[in-house]
Amino acid sequence: MNEAEKLQPYTEALERLLLRLAEEEGLLGKQLLETDDLTALFPELTQAYLGDAVPDFEQYPLVSLGWIAFVGMAMAALWDSDWEQYGAIPAGELYQQIRDARGWDELDEYVLEEAIGLRKESDEAKRYTAFLRRATEQAYSALMHERAEPSTPLAFQLYGRTLYALYRLGIALSLNLLGYKLHRSQAN
């Protein structure tokens, strides 16, 4: 069994947990909404994200992990608004635009207010902020439960898988908020 096969059960279990939490909160249905356009950008986007997130992990693990969900939300909003324009921009540059709009420390507020369009003090903005905090806490707990030795390749791979699950959660939340629904098509 190769390393990716060993990590796949962790990723799947984490995504199921995050989806269950979102279902309980009434923010998602039975499946993560997604688009291949955004999922495919994760590796490139994450390269840029890691430069900000990794240094914060020791002191601020919830920010280090959780901001990627907000990035996923922003990316879905960009995809919905004009993907022809935004899809032509390299993913790392899109991430930097999101981050630089207000800086790393206020990335969450920028996404909710500017990318998604929720007023900062609105009940809906507070609901998403509280939910993503809870989801990130659960993701962090799952990561720590793996007991990977810090600074090892396995620890980094688990961290990356955790970011991936949270990114996909952010995409799904935003797509749902934008009114997208999952519909099954039937072939003739």
* Per-residue pLDDT reduced to its tens digit, 98-125: 999 999 999 999 999 999 999 989 999 9
Distances (CA, A) of 13 to 8, 18, 128, 137, 139: 9, 9, 22, 15, 10
Burial class (CB in 10 A: 0-12, 13-18, 19+), 128: buried
The whole-number pLDDT of residue 185 equals 44
Q: Where are the alpha helices (DSSP H) in 87-188?
A: 91-102, 107-110, 123-145, 153-177
Confidence of residue 2 (pLDDT cuts 50, 70, 90): low
At 161, the amino acid letter reads R
Say whether pLDDT at 183 is over 60: no
CA 174 to centroid of chain Cα atoms = 10
Average pLDDT, the chain: 91
pLDDT tens for each residue of 48-75: 999 999 999 999 999 999 999 999 999 9
At 28, the amino acid letter reads L
Neighbour count for residue 178 (Cβ, 10 Å): 16
Going by C-beta distance under 8 Å and a sequence separation of 6 or more, which residues neighbour residue 166?
A: 18, 65, 66, 68, 69, 72, 135, 136, 139
What sign results for the dihedral spanned by CA atoms 154, 155, 156, 161? positive
